């Protein structure tokens, strides 16, 4: 009798646990931007003029993902913003990096992000139209903006924008459901 009861309890626990077993691959940090309007400053003088449109499209992809924030072009004097530029990186293997070097505010126990730098590696070749032997700049910026928003690299699914690497000539310009789930988990 007692064994039956324990078994029944086990089955009930299994049933409760089952719906929570849905795999979520996205990796969200503890940080988030303290403003729902996130200004983006692009150093266009540091990069080919054709990148302008690609960067705007990458910003829009995240802004219209259905989460409660939006990227906005900025040319004024904000204290907090995402800066995107092309520059020298020490690691040739790296396509681009994101760093939150403007700092993190702490308030009410929540880590509040208020700055992010994206640097596209000037030692690597990029293209806006899939030219051979180049990387797709829109796909790269889309991925790095995901880091700016406090999403992490993931190992699977490989189709995700936040997958940890991008092959040469590969285009990943559309957010997957996993990317969208991740950003909604942070910003609602
Ligand atoms: Zn990454």
Q: Does any domain span residue 146?
A: yes
CA 6 – ligand 1 centroid, Å: 46
Q: Which residues contact 37 (CB under 8 A, 6 or more apart)?
A: 69, 70, 72
Least confident of 24-28, 59-63, 110-114, 154-158: 110-114
CA 53 – ligand 1 centroid, Å: 22
CA 147 – ligand 1 centroid, Å: 7
Q: Whole domain around residue 86: which residue ranges?
A: 27-187
pLDDT tens-digit profile of 137-176?
999 999 999 999 999 999 999 999 999 999 999 999 999 9
Q: Does any domain span residue 178?
A: yes
Q: Which residue has tokens 């730098």?
A: 117
Task: Return the CATH number at 118.
Answer: 3.40.390.10
Rounded average pLDDT over 20-38: 79
Q: Does any domain span residue 158?
A: yes
Q: Does any domain span residue 162?
A: yes
Helices 137-148, 51-63: axis angle to 10 degrees equals 40
Q: Does any domain span residue 115?
A: yes
Q: Contact 62/77 with Cβ under 8 angstroms?
A: no
Q: Which residues contact 14 (CB under 8 A, 6 or more apart)?
A: none
Q: Does any domain span residue 2?
A: no
Report CA torsion sign: 153, 155, 160, 165. positive
CA 152 – ligand 1 centroid, Å: 7
pTM: 0.84
The pLDDT mean for the chain works out to 86
Total number of domains constituting the chain: 1
**Residue 41, H or E segment:** strand 37-42
Q: Does any domain span residue 42?
A: yes
Q: Does any domain span residue 22?
A: no
């Amino acid at each position: 009798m007692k064994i039956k009861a324990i078994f029944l309890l086990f089955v009930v626990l299994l049933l409760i646990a089952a719906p929570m077993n849905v795999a979520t691959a996205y990796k969200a940090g503890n940080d988030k931007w303290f403003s729902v309007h996130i200004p983006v400053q692009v150093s266009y003088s540091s990069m080919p003029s054709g990148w302008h449109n690609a960067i705007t499209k990458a910003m829009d992809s995240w802004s219209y993902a259905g989460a409660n924030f939006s990227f906005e072009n900025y040319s004024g004097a904000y204290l907090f913003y995402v800066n995107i530029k092309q520059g020298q990186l020490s690691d040739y293997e790296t396509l681009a990096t994101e760093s939150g070097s403007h700092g993190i505010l702490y308030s009410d126990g929540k880590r509040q992000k208020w700055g992010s730098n994206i640097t596209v590696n000037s030692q690597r070749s990029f293209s806006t139209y899939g030219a051979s032997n180049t990387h797709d700049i829109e796909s790269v910026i889309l991925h790095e903006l995901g880091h700016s928003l406090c999403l992490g690299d993931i190992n699977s699914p490989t189709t995700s924008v936040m997958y940890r690497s991008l092959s040469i000539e590969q285009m990943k310009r559309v957010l997957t459901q996993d990317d969208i789930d991740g950003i909604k988990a942070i910003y609602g």
